[in-house]
């Protein structure tokens, strides 16, 4: 089991990789990590971001769809933390040079109107939801060739880099369980699917997150943004790209890569 110092050192490696925009070998290539160890590294990494003045705005679920599990070769849903500096305005621009090997995936996000503490069912979890948005997540694994094991990607905060939210729809009488989702790149269809691909229902992803946090004595806070996971495989991005997601009943969200 890695000591607290080892956990900090591993978090520093990933933090440096992010800041230097330089990929690193998988941590598990040299250090065996349990899932608990990996989440400790993730939390230490968020601590480093907070020391630089960033702060938490929510959480993300990852690997909640079969398409994502197959693409990444990892079969277990994971969670990560979202910080304020990861937010990109709808219609905004990211720099290709600020990323190692950026990819984007279409998602559904929830905004919580009240605290949510597990154990909960998907239906109970929805009682805490006050807003729903379509979203794009830009992921950028810190690992060489975008390849990792489950503990590696957990330690790397679920490959998170930036995210864009569309406008907020109130969820009353609006079921997010089977919404058509279309992602275009440079005006051409890139990926499409249904929000049902997100762990059968985005609400099930939200409940799973609350239920993974509960044994740690952690809960989701009112005001939190929760990204429920990519509905389709992620696609690679290059300088000059424009990407947009359209979700049935939720409008669209988009960004540019310069
Ligand atoms: C891991 C992140 C997965 C999602 O929505 O499934 C994720 C990865 O694919 O690098 O964010
Ligand atoms: Mg994602």
Ligand 1, atom 10, residue with closest C-alpha = 159
Residue nearest to atom 11 of ligand 1 (CA): 62
For the stretch 185-221, pLDDT in tens is 999 999 999 999 999 999 999 999 999 999 999 999 9
Residues 104-145 have pLDDT tens digits of: 999 999 999 999 999 999 999 999 999 999 999 999 999 999
Residues 6+ apart with CB under 8 A from 51: none
What is the residue-averaged pLDDT of the chain? 97
Predicted pLDDT at 172:
81
The whole-number pLDDT of residue 112 equals 98
56-257: which CATH topology? Fumarylacetoacetate hydrolase; domain 2 (3.90.850)
Strands across the sheet containing 242-247:
92-94, 251-257, 242-247, 180-185, 188-194
- What separation in Å is there between the alpha carbon of 107 and the centre of ligand 2? 7
Tokens of 6: 């080892």
Question: In this structure, which ligand is nearest to the CA of 198?
Answer: 1
The number of C-alpha atoms within 13 Å of 60 and in the hemisphere containing its C-beta is 33
85-105 mean pLDDT: 98
Angle value at C-alpha 14, between 84 and 191, nearest 5 degrees? 65
Q: What is the pLDDT of residue 252?
A: 98
When pLDDT is cut at 50, 70 and 90, the band that residue 171 belongs to is: confident
């Amino acid at each position: 089991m890695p000591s607290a110092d080892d956990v900090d050192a591993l978090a520093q490696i990933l933090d440096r990789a992010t800041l230097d925009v330089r990929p690193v070998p998988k941590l598990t290539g040299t250090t065996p990590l349990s899932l608990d160890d990996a989440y400790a590294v993730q939390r230490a990494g968020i601590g480093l971001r907070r020391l630089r003045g960033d702060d938490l705005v929510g959480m993300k679920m990852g690997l909640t769809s079969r398409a994502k599990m197959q693409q990444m070769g990892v079969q277990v849903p994971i969670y990560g933390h979202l910080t304020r500096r990861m937010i990109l305005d709808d219609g905004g621009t990211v720099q290709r040079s600020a990323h190692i090997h950026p990819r984007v995936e279409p998602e559904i996000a929830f905004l919580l109107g009240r605290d949510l503490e597990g154990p909960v069912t998907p239906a109970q979890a929805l009682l805490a939801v006050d807003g729903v948005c379509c979203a794009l997540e830009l992921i950028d694994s810190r690992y060489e060739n975008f390849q990792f094991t489950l503990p590696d990607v957990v330690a790397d905060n679920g490959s998170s880099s930036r995210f864009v939210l569309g406008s907020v729809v109130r969820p009353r009488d609006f079921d997010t369980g089977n919404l058509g989702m279309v992602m275009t790149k440079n005006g051409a269809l890139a990926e499409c699917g249904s929000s049902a691909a997100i762990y059968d229902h985005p609400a099930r992803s939200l409940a799973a997150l609350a239920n993974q946090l509960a044994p740690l004595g952690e809960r989701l806070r009112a005001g939190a943004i929760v990204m429920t996971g990519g509905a389709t495989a992620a696609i690679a991005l290059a300088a000059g790209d424009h990407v947009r997601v359209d979700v049935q009943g939720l409008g669209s969200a988009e960004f540019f890569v310069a």
